[in-house]
Amino acid sequence: MNKLLLYMFLTGLSSTALAQDYIPILNEENTWSVDIYYEIFEPVPPNPCCYTVTEQLTLGETITINGVDYKQMFIDGTASCYLREENGFVYKYDMYDEVDRVLIDMNLQEGDMFNLVGSAYDSTSPSCNSIDGTLEYNTLNVDVVEFVEIAGATRKVITFNEWAIGTGVPIQWIEGIGNLAGFDSFWEFIDVTAGQALVCFTNNSGTYFFNDASSCDNTTLGVTDFSQDKIILYPNPVNTKSILQFPIEANIDLLKIYNISGKLVKEVNVPTNHFIVDMMQYPAGLYFYQVFSKERLMKTTQIVVE
């Protein structure tokens, strides 16, 4: 009996030692920096073709709606959506249907599925979108759940087997921080944007960078780069093969191609100022290519395979 009691005591002690308090995402001390990558397919001069805008996300005062308390999200100082957090769930208030939508569920385990309400673009920001009345569900599948030391604490990390479209960033939720692919959940592809990613998180213990960022503001809006207009894929749509041409001054050295689901289907180093794109091995449909110069994203454009 004594051995049994000792075993139960040690087991309980071990479980208690391993347990930890949940770290809330919607902590007022937290701020987020999210890069939004813009791709205007037919830019009107003098507007640049492609640029990045980094949005600073903060939490403000508590707003009560129908007896429920929400945190007001601010984007670059402008009031945006209403959020609340309870029992590991982060909810966003849908102003159209006047109901809560689940953005994040930190209770998920490996093998679980999550039906995510697709976010549609609104005039405020793609970082914390309002749903425009059209609900599109995307099923995410949990691939890995682990506990990792991040930003000064051991945090639960949920990694899905889907990737954010156009960025090569996995859809990954981090306890106390949020979505690695931006603050909001699944980001829907839009004509004028080419992706988003969390680049900087700040709390009372310091500032932490994600997705290979080294700055909390990577905004390039207003920076003219004439060489981007000379990066051309022809013909497009593609029947068999097309040629992707680069200006010499662009110094393009890497090409990535994604399918419509955001999965990377090809990555190749580019040694010259052109590359033959062979799409015969891929099913017909919509794809996206990105070209890089010394790790800098230069252009993102659609490829249509017929």
Contact 198, 185 (CB under 8 A): no
Q: pLDDT band for position 183 (50/70/90)? A: confident
Task: Return the higher-pLDDT residue of 120 and 144.
Answer: 144
Q: pLDDT band for position 5 (50/70/90)? A: very low
pLDDT digits (tens, 9 = 90+) for 66-105: 999 999 988 877 788 899 999 999 998 887 778 888 889 9
| Max avg pLDDT among 6-20, 30-44, 226-240, 279-293 | 279-293
Task: Return the higher-pLDDT residue of 106 and 217.
Answer: 106
